[in-house]
Amino acid sequence: MSRQLLPVLLLLLLRASCPWGQEQGARSPSEEPPEEEIPKEDGILVLSRHTLGLALREHPALLVEFYAPWCGHCQALAPEYSKAAAVLAAESMVVTLAKVDGPAQRELAEEFGVTEYPTLKFFRNGNRTHPEEYTGPRDAEGIAEWLRRRVGPSAMRLEDEAAAQALIGGRDLVVIGFFQDLQDEDVATFLALAQDALDMTFGLTDRPRLFQQFGLTKDTVVLFKKVLFVVVDVAADNEHVLQYFGLKAEAAPTLRLVNLETTKKYAPVDGGPVTAASITAFCHAVLNGQVKPYLLSQEIPPDWDQRPVKTLVGKNFEQVAFDETKNVFVKFYAPWCTHCKEMAPAWEALAEKYQDHEDIIIAELDATANELDAFAVHGFPTLKYFPAGPGRKVIEYKSTRDLETFSKFLDNGGVLPTEEPPEEPAAPFPEPPANSTMGSKEEL
């Protein structure tokens, strides 16, 4: 080897092997810059346009709230949102809650079409382009349940009778889908419905034994409503309870069922003994629509139409109120109601004033002792006008309770006349002073 080439070769070897020969801090072209850490507030991820992508990659189920610091609804939601995050974390649910300051992160707000606050969107499996709009409640448990039904099953799989009875007995409203094939498209529809019907608990099964247990032979969806059982001691001071059901103490033992939502009451069709079997059969009959509700009614007084104010009860209400030849004005009252007692003189005076009008009837009905199929009465006094003619029309009176206003209402056919305010005399236009600049306007 030539002696002149040796120093050059050594120099090249030294440059290739010395670590300080490399540029300090240089990164490989394939090496990505370090990603920003996502901050948290009260268990909620605080996102920006720089960190949303990272959050979507790290969290397969991500609920994001777009909020504005000045928004009152956002401020009310904040503690519930944090509570929901804590509840789900305690349950080890694979779901994360986050938030974005919309006004400060305009690019994100525009990207996701946010036009009002708060707006919540649910991202699955890192899908940035098609988030689901949050449509659930704004309380902690409601938020948590909405997410549970998306991250986990929306309906519980029932394998045996014990599981079905535990589900039915533990909730007020339970819906169970009985499907012979759980791959059927109807099952997908059922599960999608279960995701959003948060006021009900859902279960499903394909077990033949459960079909047999509930007397089913084909695919069916069944609603189970919880029945609360109450025992009333008629020997104690419970007269008000007996009155509510239209019962006498000597009728005991007996059964009554009341739907607390509609206030409709039901009685057994037969008067047999009260046993576990008869109670079960009665409840099933009511829930299956096989028993008609009953309505309370006093007996029709012999002199019901002898006074200026006619007395109506449940048994004669329909016949009188919906008489197509009469205009009937009815007061629905409670005997203990102070307001009813205060307006009684005006009602009596009204009846006396119109007692010679053959087409007008002024009447009253004790709504605590008589129930109507046409409508329910919830407040006292309630005043309703039933005009003559077909169609069973009903007009509720909501104006002043005095003789003068009642009379105007009746004389005008069930409508209070519109009273025009008295015209005030126009004030004379003041003469402008001699040196005033008032006059025709000059064009500029």
pLDDT, tens only, 36-90: 689 999 999 999 999 999 999 999 999 999 999 999 999 999 999 999 999 999 9
The verdict on whether 74 is a catalytic residue reads yes
Sheet with 96-101, edge to edge strand ranges: 40-41, 44-47, 96-101, 61-67, 119-124, 132-133
Phi, psi of 245 (to 5 degrees): -95, 0
Q: What is the pLDDT of residue 228?
A: 74
**Domain edges within the chain:** 40-151, 156-225, 239-287, 310-411
Residue 240 pLDDT level (bands cut at 50, 70, 90) = confident
Q: What is the pLDDT of residues 314-366, one digit of tens each?
A: 999 999 999 999 999 999 999 999 999 999 999 999 999 999 999 999 999 99
Q: Which listed residue (340, 350, 372, 383) is catalytic?
A: 340
Burial class (CB in 10 A: 0-12, 13-18, 19+), 337: middle
Correct CATH for 239-287 of 3.60.20.30, 3.40.30.10, 1.10.760.10, 3.40.50.850: 3.40.30.10
* Percentage of the chain exceeding pLDDT 90: 63
The CATH topology of domain 310-411 is Glutaredoxin (3.40.30)
Q: What is the pLDDT of residue 7?
A: 40
pLDDT tops 60 at residue 10: no
Handedness of CA 13, 18, 24, 27 (dihedral sign): positive
Q: What is the pLDDT of residue 118?
A: 97
Residue 210 pLDDT level (bands cut at 50, 70, 90) = very high
pLDDT tops 90 at residue 18: no
Angle in degrees, CA 175, 294, 369, rounded to 5: 120
Domains 40-151 and 239-287 share a fold: yes
**404: helix, strand or coil:** helix
Q: Which listed residue (337, 369, 377, 395) is catalytic?
A: 337
pLDDT tops 70 at residue 23: no
pLDDT tops 90 at residue 381: yes
Correct CATH for 156-225 of 3.60.15.30, 3.40.30.10, 1.10.40.30, 3.30.365.10: 3.40.30.10
Residue 34 pLDDT level (bands cut at 50, 70, 90) = low
Q: Once rounded to an integer, what is the mean pLDDT over residues 101-113?
A: 96
Q: What is the pLDDT of residue 35?
A: 60
The verdict on whether 283 is a catalytic residue reads no
Q: Which listed residue (74, 95, 97, 410) is catalytic?
A: 74
Q: What is the pLDDT of residues 79-92, one digit of tens each?
A: 999 999 999 999 99
HSE on the CB side for 115, CA within 13 Å? Answer: 1
Please give the span between the terminal C-alpha atoms of the chain, in angstroms, as a whole number.
103
The verdict on whether 337 is a catalytic residue reads yes
Q: What share of the chain is helix, strand, coil (3-state, %, to 5)?
A: 30, 15, 50
pLDDT tops 60 at residue 122: yes
In this prediction the pTM is 0.52
Q: What is the pLDDT of residues 386-430, one digit of tens each?
A: 999 999 999 999 999 999 999 999 999 999 887 655 454 443 434
Residue 231 pLDDT level (bands cut at 50, 70, 90) = confident
Looking at 70-79, 210-219, 226-235, 294-303, which range is the least confident one? 226-235
**Rounded to whole angstroms, how far apart are CA atoms 232 and 31?**
78
pLDDT tops 80 at residue 273: yes
Q: What is the pLDDT of residue 407?
A: 96
Q: What is the pLDDT of residue 6?
A: 37
Superfamily of domain 40-151: Glutaredoxin (3.40.30.10)
Q: Which listed residue (46, 71, 166, 187) is catalytic?
A: 71
Question: What amino acid occupies position 135?
Answer: T
pLDDT tops 90 at residue 167: yes
Average pLDDT, the chain: 85
CA 238 to chain centre: 34
